[in-house]
Amino acid sequence: MTGTNKVNTLLNEIVSASQEQSDGIVEVNKGVSEMDKVTQQNAGNAEELASAAEETAAQVGVLREQVAKFTGKDDNDSPASAHATHTHTSAPAQTSTRKVAEPAIPMGGKDDGFESF
């Protein structure tokens, strides 16, 4: 192999390596662009979630006011303090001593004109 052939071989390898490097840079740019899109989408989603959370908090406030109207609690009562002072005890089961009511007309005694099904 002569010196010229060696130079040509080296130049062809350099061209090939440069092309591979260029292709790699293109792929990296595509990846960075995709990550940028996803980052922008995430930022938009975060803004929407923050807005929805703010709206939900406002609705919770309105709901608490409405519930307070029915329960008679003021806004200073916290759920934690209400829960701590409000204990639930089960009442003992009561047995009924009441008798079952007798039918107004005794069954089978008088033909009232109704047929059995």
What's the farthest any 2 CA atoms get from each other in the chain?
132
- The number of domains in the chain is 1
Residue 92 belongs to a domain: no
Handedness of CA 23, 24, 25, 26 (dihedral sign): positive
Residue 101 belongs to a domain: no
What one-letter code names the amino acid at 27? Answer: E
Per-residue pLDDT band at 2 (split at 50, 70, 90):
confident
Residue 43 belongs to a domain: yes
Q: Which residue has the tokens 């899109």?
A: 37
pTM of the model: 0.44
Residue 46 belongs to a domain: yes
DSSP-derived secondary structure for 57-100: HHHHHHHHHHHHHHH---TT--HHHHHHH----PPPPPPP-PPP
Residue 24 belongs to a domain: yes
Per-residue pLDDT band at 85 (split at 50, 70, 90):
very low
Conformational region of residue 113, where left means phi above 0, alpha means psi within -120 to 50, and beta covers everything else = left
Q: Which domain holds residue 58?
A: 3-71
Lowest average pLDDT, out of 16-20, 35-39, 83-87, goes to 83-87
